[in-house]
Structure 1
Amino acid sequence: MVNKEIEKTDPLSSLKEFTAARIAIGRTGTSIPIKQSLEFKLAHAHARDAVYSVLDTDGLLNSMQPFNLPILHLHSKALTRHKYLKRPDLGRQLNEESAELLKDYSTNADIAFIIVDGLSATAVNENTYPLLEVLIPQLNRAGLKIAPICLVEQGRVAIGDHIGHLLNAKLTVLLIGERPGLSAADSMGAYFTYMPKPGLTDESRNCISNIRPQGLTHKPAAEKIFYLINEALKRKLSGVALKDNAGLLE
């Protein structure tokens, strides 16, 4: 009864419908209620599980067959999850076998999609197909050439620069599992880089974050990505100079 009264009088309670963050959770004595304490521990367990989740390569391959695009399975220089977490630099580099494979796929494509497990393969497994199901038909209707889709295990964001360069693509769209938080372990990010090449830094990229059913849902995310792709190709740039002004257009 006390907790219900606290929730009613807490000025933050009205914000709970807009966020999954832990606000207005009440208290029991000097601590938080048992229910909220257990929910916190469960969310922490989900976040840890997401970090160690595995890219569902077979499921992704099967789901993306309708796109009629070649799909390449690549790997970074981090051979294990333990090495990936301890050595971020290895996750930014392709291993030799993957680099050799890509030499046969210099495409001159407009766009290369690169799907990377990152810090939550769960996010990629759950959100990649619903997003691309909306986005790829839009790109096809626009007459844009799409390179082979690349699935990358144990990868970081910068690995897309090496892949895009070897594919000779004008623009990379890298989909990656974001660092799981205690309110979202299934969040995927999309990073854009115009004229990718090894050695680029973060100011050369644009990012759309929190792509998931309880965040930025797939259809609005696809529309935003489509807008930024067109702007990047038209203006021949990405990064800090490329702004998302879609909502300002009449």
Structure 2
Amino acid sequence: MIEQNNNPPALDADANAKPWQALRRLTPARIGLGRSGTSLPTEALLDFQYAHAQARDAVHLAFDHQGLGAGLAERGRASLLLHSAAADRHTYLQRPDLGRRLDPASVQRLRDHAQAHPGGVDLAVVVADGLSALAVHRHSLPFLSRMEELARLEGWSLSPVVLVEQARVAVADEVGELLGARMVVILIGERPGLSSPDSLGLYFTYAPRVGLTDAYRNCISNVRREGLSYGMAAHRLLYLMREACHRQLSGVNLKDEAELHVLESDPQPPAASNFLLAEPPG
């Protein structure tokens, strides 16, 4: 007599986990987290809460302008400390419009500097805390070293590095206008994500002046060790600056084709090809 086994074979948990584990090694995105009943496993839930706490801490972290100023001085670069019209962090988060303008004392300080150094500059450099001072603390100095080296090769004159507390992107337009700068770039902490609390953003404007909208700016985002490298970010920014000087504009009418030029000028095939772009087998 043949005994019938009504019990289904036991499933190998690793068999379902392995494909997702392989994919998870390729991305910081939260995929293949598994489940415990109708909820997340404890490890995944704690990891999410930890990432959320990191993002909140990045938003509220105080701007270490003294440390940045000391680091710039070690590299032989002068700096100016300014403040936006937002008096404190609470006001900054509640009133974005105040973060886009300088307070009266900062305006006067820039006017005094411009009067003492007439003639303007080619490039005004601004560093601001934005929504992640952590990003500025980690990445602004190494990026500036790359960018300023390339800018000097172009023969461009640079302003002192202008450090602005409680600032939004548009504050750079006022700084550039007061300094009589042909161009301005602001390094600012981007809004933290749940896998990137330290992402640095670069915003570039040609012929800066108060009242410009985002349509007049070019953005290079996610500058950090796990994102866009300092060297590539500096290369892309310098490409935009050269094109802006040639066309006398920036923003939506200025396309970033820097990567395309790099690929076209490289005679060697990449070491690891993208299977999506590879030619199908003949």
Range into which the TM-score falls when normalised by the shorter chain: over 0.9
Letter in 1 for 2:33: I
Q: Show the counterpart of 2:180.
A: 168
Q: Show the counterpart of 1:8.
A: 18
Highest RCO, 1 vs 2 (Cα 8 Å, sep ≥ 6) = 1
> Highest CA radius of gyration, 1 or 2?
2
Structure 1 residues 156 and 6: CA distance shift in structure 2, 3 A: same
Q: Are positions 1:225 and 2:237 aligned together?
A: yes
**Structure 2 Cα separation of the partners of residues 135 and 15 of structure 1:** 35
- Give the drift of 1:9: 4.3
Q: Show the counterpart of 2:205.
A: 193
**Structure 2 Cα separation of the partners of residues 2 and 50 of structure 1:** 41
**Structure 1 Cα separation of the partners of residues 259 and 198 of structure 2:** 26
Q: Are positions 1:36 and 2:44 aligned together?
A: yes
**Structure 2 Cα separation of the partners of residues 6 and 26 of structure 1:** 10
| 8 Å Cα contact 2:236/2:259 also seen in 1 | no
Structure 1 residues 37 and 148: CA distance shift in structure 2, 3 A: same
**Structure 1 Cα separation of the partners of residues 238 and 13 of structure 2:** 46
Identity of paired residues, percent?
A: 47
SS in structure 2 of the partner of residue 65 of structure 1:
helix
| 8 Å Cα contact 2:173/2:208 also seen in 1 | yes
- Give the drift of 1:3: 5.8
Map 1:95-114 → 2, pairs under 5 A: 95-106=103-114, 107-114=119-126
Unaligned residue ranges in structure 1 (runs of 5+): none
Q: Show the counterpart of 2:128.
A: 116
**Structure 2 Cα separation of the partners of residues 16 and 191 of structure 1:** 32
Map 1:143-158 → 2, pairs under 5 A: 143-158=155-170
Q: Are positions 1:203 and 2:211 aligned together?
A: no
**Structure 1 Cα separation of the partners of residues 166 and 52 of structure 2:** 22
| 8 Å Cα contact 1:43/1:183 also seen in 2 | yes
- Give the drift of 1:70: 2.6
SS in structure 1 of the partner of residue 81 of structure 2:
strand
Q: Show the counterpart of 1:53.
A: 61
Please, which moves more after superposition, 22-31 or 131-140?
22-31
Q: What is the TM-score when the length of structure 1 is the normalising length?
A: 0.94
Cα distance per residue 1:120-175 (max 9 Å; x no partner) = 00100110001011111111122111012100000000111111100110111100
**Structure 2 Cα separation of the partners of residues 86 and 123 of structure 1:** 21
**Structure 1 Cα separation of the partners of residues 44 and 240 of structure 2:** 40
Q: Are positions 1:141 and 2:153 aligned together?
A: yes
Letter in 2 for 1:248: L
Q: Show the counterpart of 1:75.
A: 83
Unaligned residue ranges in structure 2 (runs of 5+): 1-10, 265-282
SS in structure 1 of the partner of residue 112 of structure 2:
coil
- Give the drift of 1:16: 2.7
| 8 Å Cα contact 1:113/1:150 also seen in 2 | yes
- Give the drift of 1:17: 3.5
Q: Show the counterpart of 1:239.
A: 251
Please, which moves more after superposition, 228-237 or 113-122?
228-237
